[in-house]
Structure 1
């Protein structure tokens, strides 16, 4: 353990807790106090070592009653396909192109018809209606990327 730096120790501590339970909820300041580090050190460890690619979903709430929740999830097998779709979506995507992305997910069995219809409703121009088309396409891309990221794992 002497060869471990403080980030390694914090990571090990959190992963040890996650071995016993699927989810851990922590207060950043309490963990920082426990390891005698600044709270930003906890942020660094969580941001770099508890990513979706590593099989973790992280949620946080700031403020007085704030917390950081880390959940271990099972990654799905078709990550390469979803990663390619995320790259294709990029920062902006038209409705027409986003329908093609959803069709691809449906055709490969990643989502069912009902899920496809829900996603279509969420990215429809009436749902993401803003003042200009460029902003609409950016909003649609953000929604699709979040959906695709969530499709990478099973809760």
Structure 2
């Protein structure tokens, strides 16, 4: 059985897909009521599953008339996407952020499933067996080199 966070994430993605826009505005309380959960559960899903690395920008206003605005970021070209990811990788890259970026490369059909799995392995903390913060710095450099390879041969 899937957990409630997965169910909420899938629901929100379907709402975005079914809209005629890359921007949707939702009420946190209405979503919480729909799934019979607390609003903080909605916050958790939004904060962990709709990140910049995954291609989303989220705006939020709390309070009685509060809303969540989710914006699906769509680059104009594959080169623009790679350029944006390269900028993100200028900073130390935690494992989850790196995995989110790799997943997005797969979703945009810039890499295959096999390449995604290889990248996950190379970027995993078990392989990069060095202490933080150096590990995230090394991961960032590796990711940037992988992007360069995709750009050159993709």
TM-score with structure 1 setting the length: 0.51
1:74 partner SS: coil
Match of 1:81 among 79, 86, 99: 86
Q: Radius of gyration: which is bigger? A: 1
User: d(CA) in 2 for partners of 1:36 and 1:83?
Assistant: 36
| C-alpha RMSD of the superposition | 1.5
- Structure 1 segments (4+ residues) deviating >3 Å: 84-87
1:53 partner SS: coil
Structure 2 residue 51 is matched with structure 1 residue 51: yes
User: d(CA) in 2 for partners of 1:27 and 1:81?
Assistant: 34
Match of 2:5 in 1: 7
User: d(CA) in 1 for partners of 2:5 and 2:53?
Assistant: 19
Match of 2:112 in 1: none
User: d(CA) in 2 for partners of 1:82 and 1:13?
Assistant: 30
Aligned-pair CA distance for 1:67 = 0.5
User: Number of aligned pairs?
Assistant: 85
Deviations 1:122-150 (A, max 9, x none): xxxxxxxxxxxxxxxxxxxxxxxxxxxxx
Match of 2:71 in 1: 71
Aligned-pair CA distance for 1:71 = 1.1
Match of 1:19 in 2: 17
Q: Which has the higher contact order (CA 8 A, sep 6+)?
A: 1
User: d(CA) in 1 for partners of 2:74 and 2:91?
Assistant: 19
Deviations 1:83-138 (A, max 9, x none): 24445xxxxxxxxxxxxxxxxxxxxxxxxxxxxxxxxxxxxxxxxxxxxxxxxxxx
